[in-house]
Amino acid sequence: MHPVPAAILESERLSYSVFEPGDAAMLAALHSTPEGERYLFRDGMLWSEAYAASEIAKWRETYARHGYSKFKLVRKADGAFIGRAGFGFHEDGSVAELGYTIIRSEWGQGYATEAAAALARWFLEKRIGNRFIAFAVPENGASVAVLRKIGMRETAPITVKGIICTSFEMDAADLTSLNR
């Protein structure tokens, strides 16, 4: 079991930590707008506080068992909640999958790129796994750009819940692209 430290990681502007059970309202608010949820494969489902609490419980268990999960992103300068980012299991359970969601008011500030790059480096340098994947709906150009910007390699498209997605992967050989 992995003990839960105060902060898992810090990057230039962000601190990454395991969600606490009391964070459910904040997490539900992150996932409460159709605009923010349109690319997240939930058929328009907005998160209730109860659903957010159940996700937090799963993420805490994943962290305890595997040393990675979806993490709470907080801006270091003022402690403001920015979103969530981290790793989960891809549908088939065979590989870790990078994902991120930033609150709408902070879109376009580079937080997704900062978080994705920091987490990719952390995952590979700490040898949490030897590779991970990510994918995005092609219409989500901002997310596709983030994955390209951090140096992930585009792979064959994959179908997720009936939607063809642009797919990427990264492994330890790709660390040089992260360290530029």
Q: Does domain 9-133 have CATH number 3.40.50.920?
A: no
In the predicted structure, residue 68 carries a pLDDT above the cut 60: yes
In the predicted structure, residue 38 carries a pLDDT above the cut 80: no
Report pTM: 0.89
Mean predicted lDDT score pLDDT of the chain: 87
Domain residue ranges in the chain: 9-133
What does the DSSP 8-state code read for residue 2?
A: -
Say which residues have a Cβ less than 8 Å from residue 110's Cβ, sequence separation at least 6: none
Strand ranges for the chain from DSSP E = 9-10, 14-18, 70-75, 81-89, 96-102, 131-136, 153-160, 163-171
Q: 136, 143 in Cβ contact below 8 A?
A: yes
Residue with tokens 């040393």: 67
State both tokens at 52: 């957010």
More confidently predicted of 172 and 80: 80
Residue 93: pLDDT band (50, 70, 90) is low
Residues in the chain: 180
CA–CA distance, 137 with 115 (Å, rounded to integer): 19
- The residues pairing with 160 across neighbouring beta strands, listed in sequence order, are 163
